[in-house]
Amino acid sequence: MDEFIVNLIDSLGFILQRLNWLSILDLLLVTLVFFVILRMLRDTQAMVLLRGVLLLVVLVSLLSSLAVLPAFSWLVKTTLPALVLAIPVIFAPEIRRGLERLGRAGFLRLNGKPTTEIQTTINAVVSAAIRLSDRRHGALIVIQRSDNLDEFIATGVRLDARVTPELLLQVFYPNTPLHDGAVILSGMQLLAAACVMPLSASGVLAHSPDRQMGLRHRAALGISEVSDAVTVVVSEETGAISVVHGGRMIRRLDQERLLNILMAFFYPLAQNGSNWFERWLGGKPESSKESPK
């Protein structure tokens, strides 16, 4: 045991002697790459797959290193190139989502909409969401930011109307022709209603302690994974209000918190444009996934 500790200290000393600023930079870059990958895969099904792949690689490496298993070692060496090529296929959705998010991160919006316009729209959304929540009327309100949502607008009914609380209440009144689906807002305009949103396959809702979240919440997560839009969801079963952005959900919001969160997302756009790094990481409001009841 003492000999092992001595050899370990000698090895560490040898490594430290060869360490210079280029080596430190090299280690920091490798650490950054792993941090970025893990940050992109957090709270997704891919994280579970990644754990399985890592455990399999470790197990296979240990078994193939045994000299008493020559046939197994040959099999591993033969199939390893195929496994390496299969990884991009397995993680294709996550890789695509990460590249899309990286592309949006490099886009710096310099000219935001006027503050009064954003404030008016946010006030209308907050007022409508609170009233819809009190009445237990489900709603899905998507607020466009920098990314274009034309492909999703085309799936609904074009309205091009000024956003008001009364209009949102009428759209989401149960059993009306436009209540099933999402509305998409841009500036002070309600562009379309009854829009079809992509459903999330990340598995975030599967780990939720609540089972009342259905297609509306999956659709809200889905549109947040393919764009930088901010979505307000009102649950039809519980009346709970949630905000979704960047694959993260902030739940059980009251009127004051809903207003503050929406202003935190849109006020920087009206003033100085959005910070690319903050947008890529998902924004400050997402640091709290769930508010207390």
Task: Give the per-residue pLDDT at 152.
Answer: 93
**pLDDT tens-digit map of 46-68:** 666 667 777 777 777 777 666 66
The tokens describing 219, both together, are 């659709």
pLDDT at 161 over 90: yes
Averaged confidence pLDDT in the chain: 77
The tokens describing 186, both together, are 């841009």
Task: Give the per-residue pLDDT at 40.
Answer: 67
pLDDT at 43 over 70: no
Task: Give the per-residue pLDDT at 289.
Answer: 42
Which residues, at least 6 apart from 45, have a Cβ–Cβ distance to it below 8 Å? 201, 202, 203
Q: How confident is the model at residue 195 (pLDDT cuts 50, 70, 90)?
A: very high
Bigger pLDDT: 247 or 258?
258
Task: Give the per-residue pLDDT at 133.
Answer: 95
Percent of the chain with pLDDT over 70: 70
Bigger pLDDT: 155 or 285?
155
Q: Considering only CA atoms, give the Rg of the chain.
A: 24
Q: Please give the backbone phi and psi of residue 291, each rounded to the nearest 5 degrees, phi first.
A: -90, 155
Tell me the Ramachandran region of residue 239: left when phi exceeds 0, alpha when psi lies from -120 to 50, beta otherwise: left
**pLDDT tens-digit map of 81-131:** 777 777 777 666 666 666 666 665 544 443 444 467 788 999 999 999 999
Bigger pLDDT: 200 or 105?
200
Domains of the chain as residue ranges with CATH = 2-105 (no CATH), 115-287 (3.40.1700.10)
Task: Give the per-residue pLDDT at 14.
Answer: 72
Task: Give the per-residue pLDDT at 283.
Answer: 43
Choice among 31-35, 72-76, 200-204, 266-270 with the minimum mean pLDDT? 266-270
Tell me the Ramachandran region of residue 124: left when phi exceeds 0, alpha when psi lies from -120 to 50, beta otherwise: alpha
Q: What value does the mean pLDDT take over residues 171-193?
A: 93
Q: What value does the mean pLDDT take over residues 170-187?
A: 92
Task: Give the separation between CA 30 and CA 63, rounded to whole angstroms.
Answer: 27
Choice among 70-74, 87-91, 153-157 with the minimum mean pLDDT? 87-91
Task: Give the per-residue pLDDT at 123.
Answer: 94
Q: How confident is the model at residue 200 (pLDDT cuts 50, 70, 90)?
A: confident
182 neighbors 153 (Cβ within 8 angstroms): no
Task: Give the per-residue pLDDT at 9.
Answer: 79
Task: Give the per-residue pLDDT at 101.
Answer: 61
Of the candidates 247, 232, 241, which has an alpha carbon nearest to the alpha carbon of residue 286? 247
Distances from the Cα of 10 to the Cαs of 3, 15, 27, 127, in angstroms? 10, 9, 21, 68
At residue 274's C-alpha, the angle toward residues 268 and 278, to 5°, is 110
